[in-house]
Chain A
Amino acid sequence: MMGGESALGKREVAIVGVGLTPSGELWNQGLRELTIQAGFAAAEDAGIRGKDIDLILVGNMSAGMFVGQEHVAALVAGFLGLNPTSAVRVEAACASGGVAFKQGCLAVASGLYDLVVVGGVEKMTDMHGTWATAVLSGAMDFEWEAYFGATFPGIYALMARRYMYEYGLTREQLAAVAVKNHYHGSLNPNAHFRNRITIDQVLTSSLVADPLRLFDCSPISDGAACVILAPAAQARRYTDTPILVDACTQASDTLTLFERRDLCTLDATVAAAREAFHLARTDPQAIDVVEAHDCFTIGEILALEDLGFCAKGTAGALYEDEQLYVGGRLPVNTDGGLKAAGHPVGATGVKQIVELVKQLRGEAEGGRQVSGAERGLAQNVGGSGATAVVTILRRAN
């Protein structure tokens, strides 16, 4: 942006440090250890000390249900030895991390806070899988969807079925989303799943909510991610490669799928993306790398259309060659996405930002670096589309 004012407020905002835990079934670590591991990694990356931190934000969907612990922001601040720093938990289901990141950007842009830590964490595997499914049902409308027997995968299956009916998307095209993301996950040392899979394996995996099968679904993961934000004008105190936040926008829609204008479009993504491209003064053609919210394979298909990378009904064809792979025209979910890198729900929105920062710095390990990436976009969705956050990042010159 030109001049002092930014798209976010009074000041431009930069990311000066990132940290991440692996995602997976991390039996040795509880919620607080995960948060601290990601936070320390980010602080070390930025070269800051705890006393420098002005505000802590923690994206977390449901620690109260998953591990019986509420009040997790203050818990984290205290466990880090950072009292009396203000600490705030942010909740927007699977978009908790993305919304926490946006609030962190606004805090810095406002001029009130200089160094802001945005963490995201979810500890999901302390609970039996059936109950975890029930907790995730809280991301949709409990009284009018879950109460009648709908599950979270079921809601995405309703979108997938209608989309296949309207646009002729094939089951093989849908499976190709998971195959691509597992390939990228195989390159990412922090991914939950590092195995490569085939179309046939997806199509023969067990049915979860027809037409969606097990390999269409992101896993239940433990994990945490953290980024450190600073005013762009101060960023080079902390890093040689500041990453600028050109836009971070958010939009809402009904929690119920059945009340939406269209089952095959996430209108909240469309609205957030339109505003983000406007604020960042750019367009989809200028984006070099994308993190899209593929909690289910159909989610990535819808995202590519709703973000403006292709016309409605045409995303399936993009999977017929390798244009969405690292090395292709538009690499999508280079860390493996939610499907393979893992989906610790409250951490996911922050984890996406960490991957983009690594890509834009040229630090993505394992052979998944997108060469010359300058601009990246992340899309983080809460529930089945009731919240969407779109972020556009750019490498500072």
Chain B
Amino acid sequence: MSMRGVPFHWRRYRERYMLLGTQCAACGGVFFPMRSICPHCRRDGQPRPLAFSGRGTVYSFTVIHVASEGFETYTPYVVGVIQLAEGPKVTSQVVDCPPDAVYIGMPVEACFRKLRDEGPDGIICYGFKFRPVDAPTQPG
């Protein structure tokens, strides 16, 4: 997609780099992505940042063969819905293992990775992906 300015990426960096969500101090509800209002308590809510452990399991997954612009060089790659240990689900890639090794229920942990770049003059986008809990660390 067309190149976006730095603030578009920067304002979300804490959530994407550290897997931060929200816990409402009023109802205890836990949410990802971060919320400025609690969807349950609404104006009576007290949303506070919450750092997730990064531990979770694969709830569903797909192997992307036809990628969107910016991800073509990564195909085939796995995109999963990950059920976090704290309750909420998130979507990101599952890496450090062959696509056919991924299964529903697979234990995974968050890792910090490059997502894509916006071309030679654009920003490099980073964020969390997930890897099998027992996978050896790999670059990339």
Contacts and interface: CB of A to CB of B under 8 A. Distances in A.
Measured as residues with beta carbon below 8 angstroms from the partner, the interface class of chain A is 20 to 34
B63 A144 contact: no
Measured as residues with beta carbon below 8 angstroms from the partner, the interface class of chain B is 35 or more
A9 interface: no
Interface stretch (A85-93, A128-136, A346-354, A386-394): A128-136
B92 A134 contact: no
A208 interface: yes
Contacts of B125: 147
B1 A134 contact: yes
Interface in B59-85: 59-72, 74, 76-77, 79-81
A134 B33 CA distance: 22
Contacts of A208: 65-66
B30 to A, nearest CB: 12
A263 B62 contact: no
Interface in A131-157: 131, 133-134, 137, 143-151, 153-154, 157
Given A147-B115, A209-B65, 9 more contacts: A134-B68, A146-B68, A147-B16, A149-B115, A151-B67, A153-B66, A161-B60, A162-B81, A209-B66
Contacts of B72: 130
Contact of B91 (A134, A159, A258): A258
Interface centre among B62, B69, B76, B99 (most CB of A within 10 A): B62
Contacts of A207: 63, 65, 76
10 contacts: A134-B70, A143-B12, A144-B91, A149-B67, A158-B79, A161-B60, A207-B63, A209-B66, A210-B63, A259-B89
A257 interface: yes
A212 B61 CA distance: 12
A151 B63 CA distance: 11
A158 B71 CA distance: 18
B55 interface: no
Contacts, number: 106
Contact of A149 (B32, B33, B79, B104): B79
A308 interface: no
A165 interface: yes
Contacts of B99: 210
Contacts of A162: 59-60, 81, 104
A212 B104 CA distance: 17
B21 to A, nearest CB: 11
Contacts of B89: 258-259
B68 A133 contact: yes
A234 to B, nearest CB: 44
Interface centre among A207, A210, A256, A258 (most CB of B within 10 A): A258
Contacts of B91: 144-145, 148, 150, 158, 256-258
Given A133-B66, A162-B104, A263-B81, A149 B71 contact: yes
Given A148-B127, A263-B59, A165 B104 contact: yes
B48 interface: no
Interface of A: 130-131, 133-134, 137, 143-151, 153-154, 157-159, 161-162, 165, 206-212, 256-259, 263
A364 B80 CA distance: 42
Given A149-B77, A209-B65, A263-B81, A158 B93 contact: no
A168 to B, nearest CB: 13
A159 B68 contact: no
A388 B68 CA distance: 25
B64 to A, nearest CB: 5
A332 B77 CA distance: 34
Contacts of B66: 133, 151, 153, 208-209
B62 A209 contact: yes
A148 B79 contact: yes
A165 B33 CA distance: 26
A211 B63 CA distance: 8
B104 A133 contact: no
Contacts of B64: 149-151, 154, 209
Nearest to A142: B1
